[in-house]
Amino acid sequence: MTTRPPSPRRTRAAALAALAAVLVPLALAGCGGEDDVRPRDDGRAGPGARATTVVGTEPPASATPAAARMTASDDGLGGWAFGDAAEPALEAMTGELGAADVDTGWEEFRRLEGHAGWYRDDDPLSDSWRHRYFRAACWASLCSIFGGSSPATATFLGWEVSDFRRWDEDDDPDPTGPRIALEGSGIRLGDTWADFRAAYPGARAGGGEGASLVIGAPPWPGIVDGVGAWRMSGSWDADRPTWAPDHAVVTRMSGGVGPAPGCC
């Protein structure tokens, strides 16, 4: 089969088309403004277009905890001072915090022969203190302690914030609620030992029951729960009796007075 060479007319036409493809864009670029030569996105992708993936990012969630709901100290909690009448104080706390998760109601403790205190059970190692009547009301990690010689004359005597609620051992509380912070320092449950020592340089670690870690020399005395009045996570190191790792977290703080195992 014989192939004929292209005609001169077709050859010239092809050459002119190629030259126009080069010159026309250059001419447009030379006489247009800056906006004319910017690539435009008209929403249509040609056959040679490349797909571009735009990855959206959301701002990181804030690591700042919610503001403290109320402060606690060695003489009270929020607007209530130790010694305030029990019933009005409890009513006001309920108005502020809502219905208590746990309310023991008024319990009458008992005397045990040979012991001066008042005991919750017929056991000298049970919770005891120097008051005949006891009541605890708890909201999440906070428990308020009331007591006296009778319900009518009882007063607000102490508070505890703990990740273990000893007045309701079947239910561990939310340690973040109801956002109780120590007055003056802002320390809360879950803060690290490093944070605590920065706020209270005189504090030191110590050993409690079962090699638990307790906080020795806290900012004020508290209510012992059988292990310690102030506690943190981790295990006590007998080789370094006043040391704790910086990442250990505070798990219990307290103030005032309340029943303690084998107290009196």
Domain presence at residue 45: no
What Rg value do the Cα atoms of the chain yield, rounded? 37
How many CB atoms within 10 Å of residue 103?
15
Q: What domain range includes position 145?
A: 70-261
* Predicted confidence (pLDDT) per residue in 197-221, tens digit: 999 999 999 999 889 999 999 999 9
- Report the pLDDT averaged over residues 30-59: 42
Q: Is residue 38 part of a domain?
A: no
pTM for the model stands at 0.74
Q: Domain for residue 49, yes or no?
A: no
Confidence band for 170, pLDDT divided at 50, 70 and 90:
confident
Does a structural domain hold residue 31?
Answer: no
Count: domains in the chain = 1
In-domain check, residue 216: yes
235 within some domain:
yes
Q: How many other CB atoms are there within 10 angstroms of residue 264's CB atom?
A: 14
Tell me whether residue 11 is in a domain: no
Least confident stretch, 26-30, 110-114, 176-180, 253-257: 26-30
Burial of 33 (0-12, 13-18, 19+ CB in 10 A): exposed
Please say whether the beta carbons of 208 and 227 come within 8 A.
yes
What is the Cα–Cα distance from 241 to 189, expressed in whole angstroms? 23
Is the distance from CB of 193 to CB of 233 less than 8 angstroms?
A: no
Residue 102 DSSP code: E
* Nearest Cα residue to 84 out of 162, 146, 161: 146
13 SS3 class: helix
Evaluate if residue 184 carries a pLDDT over 60. Answer: yes
In a domain, 215, yes or no: yes
Q: Is the peptide bond before 259 cis (omega within 30 degrees of 0)?
A: no
* DSSP state string for 116-139: -SEESSSSTTSEEES-SEEEEEEE
Q: Which two tokens stand for residue 131?
A: 């008051």
- Helix (H, G, I), strand (E, B), or coil: what is residue 88? helix
